[in-house]
Amino acid sequence: MARQPVNLLQFAIRYKRLIFFGFALTFFSSFGQTFLVSVFVPGFLDSFGISNAYFGSLYSAATLASAFVLAWAGALIDKVSLKRYALIITAGYIVAIWIIASSQWIWMLFIGLLGIRLFGQGLCGHTAHTTMGRYFSTTRGRALSLTNLGFSFGEAVLPITITALIGAVGWRMGWTFVSFLVLLLLPAIIVYTLGRDPREHAQNGTQTGNGNADRDAAGHQWRRRLVLKDARFYLLLPGAVSAPFLLTGFFLYQTQLADFKGWNMEIMATAFIAFAVSKSASSLLTGSLIDRFTACRLFPFFLIPLLAGFGSLLVSTEPVMVYMYMFLAGVSMGAAFTINTALYVELYGTANLGTIRSMMTMFMVISTAISPVLFGLLLDAGHSFALIIKGAMAFVILSILLGIFIYRSAGETIH
């Protein structure tokens, strides 16, 4: 077997096509992510004459619907060639964006939002992570960490760019521009990076790198039904969804958090820089640690920074605390994107990775639809943000404790 690259740069150069494929998909997923959709919300409210609460309900409904479709659509990656699958979801993504740009009625907006949440937030990231998990083994962590830089790059450059674009041409032309950007670039990237067979650009085809993980103790392949019967699935589920579940609520209600702490929104906005930087650095570091120690052994610990970040919000009202909170949250979020997919491979193999990962992504997306409603109900009931912070900390502590059992199973899982 050929000697593997010793650092990230060498690794990225050696497997540049497949890594760039993953990076492109995670970057373009940004147009279906809440952080970018939010800059279009004022235009939606004005054009359709709806309230924040109405749009929030519409958006949550679209997100929930996309989650249930994702469980089926995400599993198809196990049955369809990767290039064809990626081109199909790109086509769906473009159509959804066009629907939003041309929507004249609420039902059209709903369908468009469902589409960008399904094809953008859901399937673009799902395809990138499943590909890295399937086609890399001993360097899986590094492949996932480099792929995840697409998320961070999108978070860093697109909100400012798209906000300026909307200011210049309006929200409809903004979405039209996005659709042509995706149409012109993403299909060409997919065709170029995958070539005739993605295995030509991978580390070692479809090897799992962890022995008999594709089958359970009885020799059966891990399918959705068997995974749902596995106790480890329920131990890892809270930890797998903790960061996106909680941070979606915290980010959506950041204005209320700022009011609670006495901070202005300028400080909150600049703190996202700390979040993006730490998220990128954490993803890269976690990838190397996974290749050295395995995801099972890291799983109980990656939420500790998030716990500390929430704790910092209760310590002081000094503005520096918002930077500490966002930095620590970024550490856990960056680690989560990298650890979770690697963990599914270590526990359940790669034979049905698309099916298993799409099911996990469904639960994650459902959680991101629940937290805005839950946080909103608590705030509307008159509870302070302090109660939400304490509840979030309790949930993270529970997730960490359950994750310890995954850590203890590492010796039985990795061969």
Residue ranges of the alpha helices (H) in 195-230?
224-229
373 by DSSP, 3-state: which? helix
What pLDDT score does 395 carry? 98
| Confidence check: pLDDT of 156 > 90 | no
Task: Find the helix or strand (DSSP H, E) in which 388 lies.
Answer: helix 385-408
Residue 244: Cβ within 10 Å count: 20
What pLDDT score does 25 carry? 97
Supply φ then ψ for residue 302, to 5 degrees. -70, -15
Amino acid identity of residue 71, one-letter, is: A
Same fold for the pair 7-207 and 214-415: yes
What is the arithmetic mean of pLDDT over 97-120? 96
Q: Using one digit for the tens of pLDDT, what is the confidence trace for 273-332?
A: 889 899 989 989 998 899 888 888 999 899 999 999 999 999 988 989 999 999 999 999
What pLDDT score does 310 carry? 97
Residue 5 confidence class, pLDDT cut points 50, 70, 90: low
| Confidence check: pLDDT of 81 > 70 | yes
| Confidence check: pLDDT of 1 > 50 | no
What residue ranges do the domains of the chain occupy? Answer: 7-207, 214-415
What is the arithmetic mean of pLDDT over 146-164? 88
d(CA 395, CA 388): 11
Closest CA to 236 of 148, 138, 346: 346
Amino acid identity of residue 211, one-letter, is: G
What pLDDT score does 375 carry? 86
Six-digit token string for 177: 């521009």
The residues that bridge with 221 in the sheet, in sequence order, are: 215
Closest CA to 214 of 95, 134, 119: 134
- What's this model's pTM, rounded to 2 decimal places? 0.82
Specify whether domain 214-415 bears CATH 1.10.275.10.
Answer: no
Residue 210 confidence class, pLDDT cut points 50, 70, 90: very low
What pLDDT score does 406 carry? 82
Q: Over the chain, what is the mean pLDDT?
A: 87
Task: Pick the range with the lowest mean pLDDT from 149-158, 234-243, 298-307.
Answer: 149-158
What is the arithmetic mean of pLDDT over 377-390? 91
- Cβ atoms of residues 77 and 127 within 8 Å: yes
| Confidence check: pLDDT of 212 > 60 | no
Residue 392 confidence class, pLDDT cut points 50, 70, 90: very high
What pLDDT score does 199 carry? 56
What pLDDT score does 188 carry? 96
What pLDDT score does 206 carry? 45
What class, spelled out in words, does domain 7-207 have in CATH? mainly alpha
Task: Pick the range with the lowest mean pLDDT from 4-18, 147-161, 373-387.
Answer: 4-18
d(CA 200, CA 276): 33
User: In the chain, what percentage of residues exceed pLDDT 90?
Assistant: 51
